[in-house]
Amino acid sequence: MTSPELTQQLTQYADAITAFSMVQAIAFCYSVALGEGFAKAVTRGKGARVTTIGIIIGTGAYYFLVTRCVSLAEELDKRNSTIASVLSTIQATRLTLIVVGGLLSIFALWAIKLGSGHR
């Protein structure tokens, strides 16, 4: 595998991880909001706290993996400053999406827990 091919593959991995994290966050929010049984299961007792910790760990793992893929790709592919600036913006967007997805999941979880009385 050549350097450009590996760079492209790492970029695709970063895109796939970002997409998966967003789909997972949307599915979780949807399940909490509309899945009464699921909402009860994750909001009873310490379930909300444990789920929140899981979301934070998962979000951190996605963040780390995307950051690592991009940093390895950047090491392999040195480009001019204009392209580097665009890539930096794309990276910031990826990381923002991952963090927003995690925060939305936590917000949905606690909104259902506090709003429904599952304490």
- Tell me the per-residue pLDDT of 34-74, one tens digit each, with 9 for 90 and over: 888 888 888 888 889 999 999 999 999 999 999 999 888 88
Report in angstroms the alpha-carbon separations of 119 from 42, 46, 50, 72: 11, 8, 13, 45
Report in angstroms the alpha-carbon separations of 83 from 87, 88, 90, 101: 6, 9, 11, 27
Give CA–CA dist 17/73, Å, rounded: 15
70: domain range? 3-116
Predicted local distance difference test score (pLDDT) of residue 43: 86
Count of domains observed in the chain: 1
The whole-model pTM stands at 0.84
Residue with tokens 């991880």: 17
Q: Bigger pLDDT: 20 or 37?
A: 20
How deeply is 89 buried, as exposed, middle or buried, from its count of CB atoms within 10 A (0-12, 13-18, 19+)?
A: exposed
Give CA–CA dist 89/95, Å, rounded: 10
